[in-house]
Amino acid sequence: MRFAPTLDPASSPVPAAMSAPADTSVAPVAPSLGRRPLPAWVGAFGLTLGQGALALGLALFLALPLVAILAKSVTDANGDWAGLSVVLGIIGADGFLGMVGRSLTVGVVTMMLVVPCAYAFAYALTRSRIPGKGLLRTIALLPLLAPSLLPGIALVYLLGNQGLLKGLFGGATIYGFWGIVVGEAFYTFPHALMILLTGLTLADGRLYDAARAMGAGPLRTFMTVTLPGTRYAVFSACCVVFTLTVTDFGVPKVVGGDYNVLAMEAYKAVVGQQNFPKGAAIGILLLLPALLTFVLDRRLRARQGAQLSGRAQPYAAGANCRRDAAFLLLAGAMAGFLLLIIGVAVWASFVKMWPYNLSLSLRSYDFDNMDGGGWLAWRNSLELAFCTAVIGTVVVFLGAWMMEKVPARSASSRGLRGVLGMLALMPMAVPGLVLGLGYIFFFNGAANPLNVLYGTMPLLVLCTVVHFYTSAHLTAATALNALDPEFEAASASLKVPRLTTFVRVTLPMCLPAALDVARYLFVSAMTTVSAVVFLYSPSTVLAAVAVLNMDDAGFIGPAAAMCSVIMASSAVAALLLHLASRALVARSQAWRRPAAL
């Protein structure tokens, strides 16, 4: 028989009544390796101190930079108070409202293109019997491994002035509106797909049996059962796609041409014009749509309720050759488009001189002889990703555990937990570009004692952890809430410290989720551009930023090569973490497997 992880390695599965001596005068041994347990108030004080430290860290590295960017937007170039005159002056400038309209148009069109395609792809994976679902899912998630500049670079090679397929479209250029839309569609597709996959997976098979018994056809069943059941997932996907598109400047930087958008204008204001008040004002404007979609999404989620009851039955798609053939063709076409974008970028990185000499060469990978940061940028990105994955996973899981598994016994503790909950969800509503601008204004201030962090790797790590904190926190909280509260109750009855229970029981049981968080943070740190583009120094330049710099210098081949290196590094790290996850889970959760008879 296999036993669950025990609260004390010294404890025995033999019942205490059978093993304890008959003399009741013998004091029981405390289940803490023979040491006397600490008073309860010491543990409570330590947990309160930990919660306070987490709240202070989030306030220092999230809330105060946002306050700094707000303060910068109401001052002029000399630092004097200007009120709303800076923002109103920018809004009233010639062409600014048109630029806002272009940004919103790109966001809406991309959303209308991506969400239906991602919904159809997710439907094919969850509601049909098409072959190769694992391969299709892997291909659909590949864009997560690449920086947002990769689709723009691939589109230049395909449809640019010297692109392979330029003649197929009558000489139409890819630079402008449609180039941005297609590039953003590639970049945001996997984000929408993951949300919709979750929504479509939560299906009660009884509803479909009832619809079939009432004579409803496939279309009517979809309109009355499937679509209403996934409406919140659809709205969340729309919010994510719209926000990512409006706040991204990677794709517009490469293929935007004269079609200027807000995110690109903020980047040019800070990097090109050194106009920090203008950059701050545009950052505040970029924050508004993200906040609006975040608030609407949270309100709808609060009204959603449970989709599956305890009596729910899993849905299993029936046999339908025509349906499966149609969805296989549709999903194959989408996967082919994604592979085309990635394949062209990788192939072009090996071309000797585009388009005059298409022979293969490693010339573009000689990064040290080109602008951008050389191989140092790649090594820095690996260091950033590793530190972000390790530190971020520890902080996220400890923070989620203190919020979800430690009871609040006082009004102050409950208030602190409320503040923590609000701060933990804030990063989801803050675009990376806005967070990076806030870090400039807060940590680059001469009066700030933390100014010594500016341009260093620790600040890049902290910024990246904060930027992706919410998604990691929600993953950890979901895993922790899935555990039975009886584990904590048993721990309390045995007077085992809560932290010991967390290390020996809770964390091993949540190990798959912890490794998922580490993988997510590693890949995100390798590919992020917007949050760190203003914070690096010559010694801490990153690979994704090097892609931007090489594209600026006209080295588009080396930029494609660096994108390929980033993708390969992310894929290898994700594979290693996956293999480690399987090995560690098999070892730490062997008690879950049924005993051999």
Q: What string of DSSP letters covers 396-465?
A: HHHHHHHHHTS---SHHHHHHHHHHHHHHHGGGGS-HHHHHHHHHHHHT-TT-GGGGGTTSHHHHHHHHH
- 118, 137, 125: which is closest to 187 by C-alpha? 118
pLDDT of residue 6: 37
Can you tell me whether residue 241 is helix, strand or coil?
helix
pLDDT of residue 547: 92
- 285, 236, 296: which is closest to 431 by C-alpha? 285
Domains and CATH numbers, the chain: 48-84+362-589 (1.10.3720.10), 108-260+289-308+319-360 (1.10.3720.10)
pLDDT of residue 112: 95
pLDDT of residue 396: 92
Euclidean distance between CA atoms 563 and 569, whole angstroms: 10
Q: What is the DSSP letter of 195?
A: H
Residue 248: what are its φ and ψ, rounded to 5°? Answer: -90, 140
pTM for the whole thing? 0.83
Distances in Å between the alpha carbon of 390 and those of 323, 380, 522, 593? Answer: 45, 15, 9, 29
pLDDT of residue 388: 96
Euclidean distance between CA atoms 516 and 397, whole angstroms: 12
Q: Which residues contact 16 (CB under 8 A, 6 or more apart)?
A: none
pLDDT of residue 19: 39
Q: What tens-digit pLDDT sequence spans the chain (597 residues)?
A: 333 333 333 333 333 333 334 444 444 433 444 445 545 545 556 677 877 888 889 889 998 998 888 888 777 666 667 777 777 877 777 788 888 899 999 999 999 999 999 999 999 998 888 999 999 999 999 999 999 899 999 999 988 887 788 777 666 778 899 999 999 999 999 999 988 888 787 666 666 667 677 777 677 777 777 777 788 888 888 988 998 899 888 899 999 888 888 888 888 888 777 777 788 888 888 888 777 777 777 777 666 554 544 455 566 667 788 888 999 999 999 999 999 999 999 999 999 888 778 888 888 898 887 777 789 999 999 999 999 999 999 999 888 888 877 766 666 667 777 788 888 888 888 888 889 888 988 998 778 888 899 889 999 999 999 999 988 988 888 788 777 677 767 777 777 777 777 778 788 888 888 888 999 999 999 999 888 988 888 899 999 999 998 988 888 899 999 999 999 999 999 998 888 877 776 666 555 555 554
| 277-305 as b/e: b if 16+ CB within 10 A | bbbbbbbbbbbebbeebbeebeeeeeeee
Q: How many CB atoms lie within 10 A of CB 363?
A: 17
Can you tell me whether residue 75 is helix, strand or coil?
strand
pLDDT of residue 592: 55
Rounded (10°) CA dihedral 476, 479, 481, 486: -120
pLDDT of residue 320: 80
Can you tell me whether residue 216 is helix, strand or coil?
coil
Q: What string of DSSP letters covers 534-569?
A: TT--TTS--HHHHHHHHHHTT-HHHHHHHHHHHHHH
pLDDT of residue 209: 62
Element (DSSP H or E) covering residue 360: strand 357-360
pLDDT of residue 1: 38
> Parallel, antiparallel, or unpaired for β 351-353 and 357-360?
antiparallel
Radius of gyration for the alpha carbons in the chain, expressed in angstroms and rounded: 27
Q: Which residues contact 584 (CB under 8 A, 6 or more apart)?
A: 511, 515
- The answer to whether 189 and 117 have CB atoms below 8 angstroms apart is yes
Omega before residue 355 within 30° of 0, cis:
yes
- 203, 183, 197: which is closest to 140 by C-alpha? 197
Euclidean distance between CA atoms 391 and 167, whole angstroms: 50
